Structure 1
Amino acid sequence: MRQWETVYEKWMNCEGLDSHLKQELEAISNQPEVLEDAFYRDLAFGTGGMRGVLGPGTNRLNRYTVRKAVNGLCHYLKKHCVNVYDRGVAVSYDSRYMSKAFALETAKVLGAHGIKAYVFNTLHPTPLLSFAVRYLGAAAGVMITASHNPPEYNGFKVYNEDGGQITPNEAAAITEEIEKTEDELSVPVIEQAELEAHDLLTWGGQEVDNAYLEQLKSITKLDSIEQQQEKDLQIVFTPLHGTAHNLVVQALKQLNFYQVDVVEEQATPDPEFSTVASPNPEEHQAFTMAIDLAKRSNADILIGTDPDADRLGAAVTNDMGEYTVLTGNQLGALMLDYRLKTTNPKLLANARMIKTIVTSELGRRIADNYGVKTIDTLTGFKYIGEKIRQFDATGESFTFGYEESYGYLISDVVRDKDAVQAAVFACEMAYYWKKQGKTLYDALHSLYEQYGYYLEDMISLKLTGKEGTDKISSIMQVARTESLTDIGGVNVQAVEDYWSGKRITPHTGQTEQIELPRENVVKFLLDDDCWVCLRPSGTEPKLKCYVGVRGDSEKESKKRLDDLTAAMNDFLMRCNRN
């Protein structure tokens, strides 16, 4: 009998196994390939936690794999955190299938370890979990979410005591504790009634919401008089069947933005995300209903949040009067410029802007213009949150952070990307420019005229299974070893290999150290602020190729982007054939 079959038999013979999971196992009992995939390994716990398909098996997300993860987290907290029993753990969840049930399972395992759980009594955005950890002084946080993955997924995301996503070192230590739990089916739990009777489970939410909304008032760049005035700005908002509706509307009303039309068909939480192909504001199709509503209401700005409300997309009218969805790089550059433009220069002396290595270089140019230093991090907002935490010791101050995948942070009361505060800030910014007779599209092109036309694109190569994993590794190896001196006719200035931690100048052979953690990423720095970066996805079986260019005109930039994208497509196809 193969190893996975032994584990499968253990589950099938488990007395008291969850009846729904038992039925699902029986339904696939004659499908060995499906069973093998469900049991051939344990669901991986990575740098952010776990994410997987719902269902029975050790390679699926279910109450038993969640319990095992929480059990490991408890052992980690007891070893590494002070006063963990009284401080407890904050737990939240989104609109997905099983989210609230998994939140309760988390509390049941925490309670078995004598650790208190503060659980939101309704679904909430991910950034509210980050805020709650800091507000409550909790030892850690757990968010049940799979962000914008398809409906069959859910996830288990862990936050440290600073309210940030756990770092790679923290994740490795938690993983070590999780792996010590040999039998996920026998993790001790305490039932809800007993937890509540012994003050090990507190249900809440409103107090944290009120404290968060109060903090959002400090983000605005409007003076006190203007804050009290009703704003002439027509807004269309879609929460894409997720968690953001109430908080975004309340936060907008705080600043007297009352002209808010919500896409009603997408306002109700729905784990099927039934009106969209993907509940991801990065995908332009997610804005179809919002654009239809905007045309009827003549909206100035459209905003949309993903299901757990950590990503924000926006659309505005272009010079033809048509609604166009801004890229994450474009919206980030606009918000950064507005933030710095409206801040007293004296407060920017030690200010820092943080972006990831695959985010547009336009942000750096804007920050430079205001005398603000830019700090680059690896891809993932956990690295931005980690850098903010370090500012407590260095005396630097955080002013803005963003990544190209629609994640933004304006105030560090949250230590993760926050679509709620970004939604309010984007609307305030649109109002600022409307008073000057401009749309956000006009403001964006003013930035291009001042700094150059920065454009970006991404190629995503999907390679599934073990063969796909091997192919991705092979392509990354070719990128490291093939001495490219130009890409698409643009000279290669340097190659940054984040796995070896070396920056190499091809023409001279000179090397220098990269002061960032080790990661499987290769970036080519080209002439004229152009660049190309290859990175395997951390959550999907994909190889991502990011391309960024700058030109003195939109035409020049589009030509460079087309040439570089075509060259990288050829490179990837050639590597994939070999």
Structure 2
Amino acid sequence: MALAARIKFGTDGWRGVIADDFTYANVARVGAAIAASLHDPRRSGLAPYREWGVPCRPAAAGLIVGYDTRFLSAEFARHLGRAVAEAGIPVQVTDGPVPTPAVSAAVVKRGLAGGAMITASHNPPQWSGVKFKPEYGGSATAEITALIESHLPPHAPEIGDPPVEAVAIKEEYLARLRDAVDLRELARAPLYVVVDAMYGSAQGYLASLLRAVRIPHLAVRSTVDPLFGGKKPEPLPENVVPLKAVIRSLRARARGRIVVGLITDGDGDRAAAMDERGQFLDTHRTAALLVWHLSQHRNLDGMILKSFALTDMIGKLADHVGVPWREIQVGFKWAVEDLVTGKAAFAGEESGGYGYAWHLPERDGVLSNLLLLELVAATGKPLGALVEELFELVGPHHYARRDLALPTRLEVMERLAAAPPERLAGQRVVKVETLDGLKLRLDRGWVLFRASGTEPILRLYCEMDSPAAVQLVLGEAERLARGGLL
């Protein structure tokens, strides 16, 4: 691919296929653009600095670069770091793979001008990417990434051998987590935890915290495997079969303790869970349980943000406890303003990213898992029983997603937006919503059509009152997307 190929930041950073468009040359171009954006005097006029009260730190405050466990991630991180350092900006590169929220936490604690993370998050193993984290330690806004893109050079810059410092940030991030959750209180509960890092860069973090307070636990898929065991490192049912097998084999070994399965994705900013029977708790049930826990045991004070693709349970729970809530577009960059300014206390998205204003304006899968443990400890009930109680309160909600590899996904979206159906799978379309994609509100739930911002995929999201209804609606939605007649 030509060096002048277009580089575009999507919902959370720029991503590409390794050795195709994600090359050393293009990584250097992104590094040079980040450096130029930090030097650009227009930066101080952007909304986070002009309106949110975020201090605009000078480029001389420095940049930190972290990386995940993907192929060549360490080498790409150092290459990007050298491209930034070439512009005279002090650069630190982590001494090993780290979760994305650890980089964000380091930006805030160390008073840096920003951070970059080499990761493609949940994407397949052949992908890599670059996420940028400004001074506030969260997803970059669209105007910040637009400023970076405006400085992209047409060719890879010449890079000498500028100094780049290797740093360890694991312990300072763990200390932040220990401040957020009372681990000794968790240790008093009869827990047995199975931690599934999905071969990602959060491996060892939860285990370290649990080990320190002697909570019985077992770590699975906690080694470096750039191929992620042949699966996408995304918390979906088909990708967590090994965890299910382990949990189902633990009944005797747990000796009456409550078994909890905790999952983080490829770069540790997403979370999901599995109950004591090996039943997967999708990101919607996980989000709802977190909101329920925060409202019941954490004195949740502030608005709740939910992405357009996230469960209706969030709004119902917020209404139940009298907390305001609002839907936002998909992508955590749409949540950071209200988290930074304190207007919102919690933000959640369908992909499993949950952020907390009192911690970081950033998705944090490790903290989210700790809060699930906190919920189990506070109630003395396993996750399966808690989901049943949740359904008693807000009604049954079942969800599934299909990802369609459609080269014409943008044309499909235009066709559907121009002529949405009046009925789908035997249900009336009672409302059409277009905040992000096309959501059809049906008699018994909803289905959302949305083109991915990071992959050439059309995503179909569906929530209904029964698993059978979900599959029926998704099947008809796929036929509609592919041009079939209903």
Matched with 1:270 is 225
Does the 8 A contact of 1:355 with 1:375 survive in 2?
A: yes
What are the Cα deviations for residues 142-161 of structure 1, in whole angstroms up to 9, with x where unaligned? 00111232332221111222
1:65 to 19, 22, 26: 26
**Any residues of structure 2 matched to 1:67-216 within 5 Å, and which?**
67-79=28-40, 80-81=43-44, 82-178=56-152, 181-184=153-156, 187-191=157-161, 194-195=162-163, 201-206=164-169, 209-216=170-177
1:342 to 284, 297, 306: 297
**SS of corresponding position for 2:132:** strand
Q: What is the deviation of 1:115?
A: 0.6
Q: Which has the higher contact order (CA 8 A, sep 6+)?
A: 2
Matched with 1:32 is none
Matched with 1:247 is 205
Matched with 1:227 is 185
- The aligned length equals 467
Letter in 2 for 1:244: A
1:295 to 246, 249, 263: 249
Matched with 1:472 is 409
Q: What is the deviation of 1:238?
A: 2.0
> CA separation in 2, counterparts of 1:258 and 1:276?
30
Matched with 1:10 is none
Letter in 1 for 2:200: G
* Structure 1 unpaired stretches of 5+: 1-37, 196-200, 499-518, 551-556
> CA separation in 2, counterparts of 1:257 and 1:424?
15
Q: What is the deviation of 1:205?
A: 2.1
Letter in 1 for 2:403: S
Instruction: Give the helix-richer structure, 1 or 2.
Output: 1
Matched with 1:535 is 450
Q: Max radius of gyration: which structure?
A: 1
Letter in 2 for 1:359: L
The 3 A distance-change label for structure 1 pair 567 and 397 is closer
> CA separation in 2, counterparts of 1:204 and 1:460?
38
1:357 to 301, 304, 308: 308
Does the 8 A contact of 1:238 with 1:290 survive in 2?
A: no
**SS of corresponding position for 1:303:** strand
Q: What is the deviation of 1:270?
A: 2.0
Matched with 1:443 is 386
Does the 8 A contact of 2:421 with 2:429 survive in 1?
A: yes
> CA separation in 1, counterparts of 2:199 and 2:420?
48
* Aligned: 1:419 with 2:365: yes
> CA separation in 2, counterparts of 1:484 and 1:151?
37
> After TM superposition, where is structure 1 displaced by more than 6 Å over at least 4 residues in a row?
none
> CA separation in 1, counterparts of 2:481 and 2:190?
49
**SS of corresponding position for 1:74:** helix
Does the 8 A contact of 2:244 with 2:279 survive in 1?
A: no
Of the structure 1 ranges 232-241 and 294-303, higher mean CA displacement relative to structure 2 is found in 294-303
RMSD over aligned Cα, in angstroms?
Answer: 2.5
1:282 to 231, 236, 257: 236
> CA separation in 1, counterparts of 2:275 and 2:264?
15
> CA separation in 1, counterparts of 2:425 and 2:30?
46
**SS of corresponding position for 1:149:** coil
> CA separation in 1, counterparts of 2:124 and 2:309?
25
Q: What is the deviation of 1:40?
A: 8.8
Matched with 1:5 is none
* Aligned: 1:405 with 2:323: no
**SS of corresponding position for 2:151:** helix
Matched with 1:546 is 461
Matched with 1:379 is 330
> CA separation in 1, counterparts of 2:137 and 2:233?
25
What are the Cα deviations for residues 179-208 of structure 1, in whole angstroms up to 9, with x where unaligned? xx1221xx13241xx51xxxxx332224xx
